[in-house]
A and B are shown apart, each in its own frame.
Chain A
Amino acid sequence: MAVMHEAAHEEHKLGFLQRYVFSQDHKIIGIQYMMTSLFMAAVGGVLAMLIRMELGWPGARWGLAKWLFPGGFTGDGTLKPDFYLAVVTMHGSIMIFFVLTTALSGGFGNFLIPLTIGARDMAFPFMNMLSYWLYPPAIVVLLASFFVAGGAPNAGWTAYPPLSALYNPATGTGLAAPGSGLGQSLWLVSLAILIVSFLFGSLNYITTVLQLRTRGMSMGRMPLVTWAQFTTAILMLLSFPVLFAAVVMLLFDRHLGTSFFVPSGLVVGGQLVTHQGGNPLLWQHLFWFLGHPEVYVLILPPMGIVSEILAVHGRKPIFGYKAMVASICAIAFLSFLVWGHHMFTSGMNPLVGTAFMVTTLAIAIPSAVKTFNWVATLWRARIHFTPAMLFAIGFVSLFVTGGLTGIFLGSPAVDVYFQDTFFVVAHFHFVMASAALFGLFGGLYHWFPKMFGRMMDERLGKLHFWLTFVGIYATFFPMHFLGMAGEPRRYYSPQMYDFLRGLSGLNMFVSLAAFGLGLAQLIFAYNFIRSLFRGPKAEGNPWHANTLEWQADSPPPHGNWGATLPTVHRWPYDYSVPGATEDYIPQTVPVTAAVVAGGALHHPVQGGAPDEPPTTDLNSA
């Protein structure tokens, strides 16, 4: 009882600032991450609309946009080419690093890891708070790049030097592109800050999972969502330092006169560049050594989320739990060995290309296993088509579509044609962006009651799903054919080429679909905000789920569990067990005390299970 007393006391003592702003509670930090990420998603989404405006109607005049983005449009309302590239760069950077990574890993990871393993909080709550509070400064620095000389960076989210490296200190703008001025430096600094934030986070996640699992919660009983977060944290810990190294070296090249990535003898704008002796391919290797694991950082957490949702809303155990865990680990391991498939056309040794083809297509095998396991989970399920479930099923479809196009790109001879065309854009928007987004939406609809203690509106959620699902396919599926026809990505206008002229109709269609997709997200925004304040109160376990977080209150109190930690007696997927009265048996129900026909256990922990939970726990020490 002492523990609860202390926890309650502490909660009472904390002021508003410590409770909701500089909070060390993993749930608040998770929600902070989520809210900030959703805000950034809106920013990134608006940028996407700008891209589609330009590509649908190249060179058109947009009277209104001129007023909204004064620097980005000419006097007569056409988008400037350098602003277009800035928008493309920022859309990618924001969506990848500042929305999907932060929402899926920072948001769900923080909220779910301690709850699903029966811990009171993270292993290092203060470091956890620091991790979040590095994120807003990173956003400020990133967005500030729009307002400096030369504007936001032009070099794409991959920031390949020398384009991104050549800087003119006299004017503050870039030598090879306007945005390679101060804006590019701010972009690099912002990423460096964010990487430190991610490292604090992942250090915390791994330690927490290894150290703070409650009694009975062996690794083999962890829900898949926790397994995915755990593996993702390992990926982040081992890949982001590489990007950090690259960022530092590029900053040195830009401001301190070193030449890590800039070779000798460049002539830019009629001037001989003074740098000498660097190699631009080194950046590509470092960048993609992070960049490819990063793709899995974005997709593993949704895979975990979807596995939970399919089981809970399908009222059926996830199929092939061990294979699911094994494939998560296999994907994570292989993701470190495939970075070269982004560089098939960079002039690397063809034999190395063959090696990367083998590893790349090998990673398709665990991905296929996961897909078929999800499909098998649907077989003879009892599916409740909640918004969460719809998004989870949508995720499987998007992942299949995007994964299959990856087979084209993994084969170097084919990739040579598709590299840097809209086929690639279509591919990663399916497999990484849309699928990850569906995981995010599914997770939000599923865990919203636990996060905020209220239910989201189901009808609006379904409407949101139908429009988003159709919108995603209408937007991104035709892009495959733009790529088939050879349209390169990052073109301000495809109209300069004869072979691309026939694509303007298709481009317009894609843009219209994208606008519809964007508008449909307003339904989500409305539903989300309205439900925060007006949603009906949620019970502790509205979906009748087994995992530990649903055995706590909604929302869980500070310290999560009251006086005693829960004890775990079974794996998380005992749904529709034959002979049991309910169609779910929470992890806290002892196997011996399981339910027979005509009898059920109300609250297992109170019921005095044979093995008493430990009375003290690490967090309170």
Chain B
Amino acid sequence: MAEIPAATGERRTGRLLASLIVVMIVFGGVGMTLLARRYWWLLPVASAHGVDVDRLIYTTFVVTGIVFVLVHILIAAFVWRFGARGTERAAYWHDDRTLELTYTLVPAAVLVTLISMGAVVWARVHGPAPADSMVVEVRGEQFGWLFRYPGPDGIFGRVDPARISPKDNPMGLDPADPASADDLVTRELHLAVNRPVRVRIRSKDVLHSFFIPAFRVKQDAVPGMTVEIWFTPTREGTYEIACAELCGIGHYIMRGKVMVESADAVQTWLAQQSH
């Protein structure tokens, strides 16, 4: 078969590429992940459902990590081995029903498993909130967060955007509604540890997203809508609230704080606010 010109130098390039794939992608990827575990990782989880979410993240990480390494090793091995050399020909091999079926069905099975696990967690996150939940309202605005507690009556009073004034009535409470009289509007969020909380999320102007990384909570604040989520903080401490939906030039400074403390401490704080 003299018609095929003998290849020169291809194997060397192939080995270089194979080594690069192994060193950079496999070793580099795995190594960087190990490094990241120490320096650039998820914040320690501080909510009940966050534990499930983290477990799902880790499971997905392991599954995808294995596939990532295996496929790259496979590519590297083929690239190493099958660089053109001499006049050796390629195989005229273009179909294999069993092989193709295998690598359709195996990923499908893995994905079905992941889907089922994901669906269970998702359903739990969005299941009905426990009856003893505390309720609080969060309103995003350019560029900050405002919180409202319903007060002893447990009812949020009516709000009217036309009444909003930054100093006296930032929430736009309507004094005509008796339910609004005991509503408490604050710039800080205080939550009781281990008590589920229902958060009603609204927006004053544009889209925002209520993101508490430590709680694995993120929910868009959509103007014109009230979206409710619930979660249970499980560790006392102070956590940061970030905005995760582009909302204008101050998007990056839209920082809020949530204090998780004992139920008594929250009551005391609320009592202080109302005076």
Contacts and interface: CB of A to CB of B under 8 A. Distances in A.
Nearest to A273: B205
A73 B214 CA distance: 35
Q: In the complex, which range does the number of interface residues on chain A fall in?
A: 35 or more
Contacts of A380: 82, 90-91, 93
A365 B108 contact: yes
A345 interface: yes
Contacts of A270: 166
Interface in B196-246: 201, 204-207, 209, 211, 213-214, 216-220, 222-225, 227, 240, 242-246
B118 interface: yes
A600 B83 CA distance: 26
B271 interface: no
The residue among B7, B20, B118 with the most chain A CB atoms within 10 A of its own CB is: B118
Given A357-B122, A372-B103, A272 B41 contact: no
Contacts of B93: 316-317, 319, 379-380
Contacts of A166: 206
**Best-surrounded residue of B10, B161, B205, B248 (most CB of chain A within 10 A):** B248
Interface in A375-406: 375-376, 378-385, 390, 393, 396-397, 400-401, 404-405
Given A385-B17, A397-B21, A357 B89 contact: no
Interface stretch (A498-506, A556-564, A612-620): A498-506
A407 interface: yes
A211 interface: no
A515 interface: no
Interface string B87-122: 011111111100110011001100100110011011
Interface stretch (B72-80, B129-137, B173-181, B259-267): B72-80
B206 A162 contact: yes
A490 B60 CA distance: 26
Contact of B222 (A347, A354, A492): A347
Contact of A413 (B63, B68, B122, B205): B122
B71 to A, nearest CB: 5
A523 interface: no
Contacts of A353: 122, 126
A462 B10 CA distance: 12
A493 interface: yes
Contacts of A457: none
A178 B25 contact: no
Given A369-B103, A407-B114, A462-B13, A473 B24 contact: yes
Contacts of A600: 3
A85 interface: yes
Contacts of A575: 90, 92
A393 B79 contact: yes
Interface string A306-322: 00000000111111111
Contacts of A473: 24-25, 28
Interface stretch (A61-69, A120-128, A235-243, A259-267): A259-267
B41 A485 contact: yes
Interface in A335-385: 345-347, 350, 353-354, 357-358, 361-362, 364-365, 368-369, 371-373, 375-376, 378-385
B84 A382 contact: yes
A446 B2 CA distance: 25
A268 B39 contact: no
Contact of A268 (B53, B95, B206, B243): B206
Contact of B53 (A85, A417, A481, A503): A417
A21 interface: no
A611 interface: no
Nearest to B91: A380
A401 B75 CA distance: 13
A468 to B, nearest CB: 12
B251 interface: yes
A604 interface: no
A488 B211 contact: yes
A591 B119 CA distance: 53
A383 B10 contact: yes
Contact of A357 (B61, B88, B119, B249): B119
B207 to A, nearest CB: 6
A23 to B, nearest CB: 37
Contacts, number: 338
B246 A156 contact: yes
B42 interface: yes
B186 interface: no
Interface in A126-167: 154-156, 160, 162-163, 166
B53 A413 contact: yes
Contacts of B108: 365
B206 A85 contact: no
Interface stretch (A31-39, A432-440, A448-456, A576-584): A576-584
A533 interface: no
Given A163-B246, A411-B118, A420-B209, A492 B90 contact: no
Contacts of A322: 95
B71 A502 contact: no
Residue picked from A323, A358, A368, A477, most chain B C-beta under 10 Å: A368
Contacts of A269: 142
Interface string A179-200: 0000000000000000000000
Contacts of A272: 161-162, 164
A408 interface: yes
A323 B104 CA distance: 10
B68 A401 contact: yes
Given A81-B249, A385-B17, A481-B32, A345 B121 contact: no
B53 A81 contact: no
B184 interface: no
A491 interface: yes
24 contacts: A160-B245, A162-B205, A162-B223, A265-B224, A280-B222, A316-B91, A318-B94, A379-B78, A383-B82, A385-B17, A385-B83, A393-B79, A397-B21, A408-B64, A462-B13, A477-B28, A481-B36, A491-B252, A497-B242, A498-B240, A502-B40, A576-B91, A582-B3, A583-B90
Interface of B: 1, 3-4, 7, 10, 13-14, 17, 20-21, 24-25, 28-29, 32-33, 36, 39-43, 52-53, 56-57, 60-61, 63-64, 67-68, 71-72, 74-75, 78-79, 82-84, 88-96, 99-100, 103-104, 107-108, 111, 114-115, 118-119, 121-123, 125-126, 141-142, 160-162, 164, 166, 172, 201, 204-207, 209, 211, 213-214, 216-220, 222-225, 227, 240, 242-253, 255
Given A346-B220, A383-B84, 6 more contacts: A163-B248, A361-B115, A368-B107, A486-B242, A496-B253, A583-B3
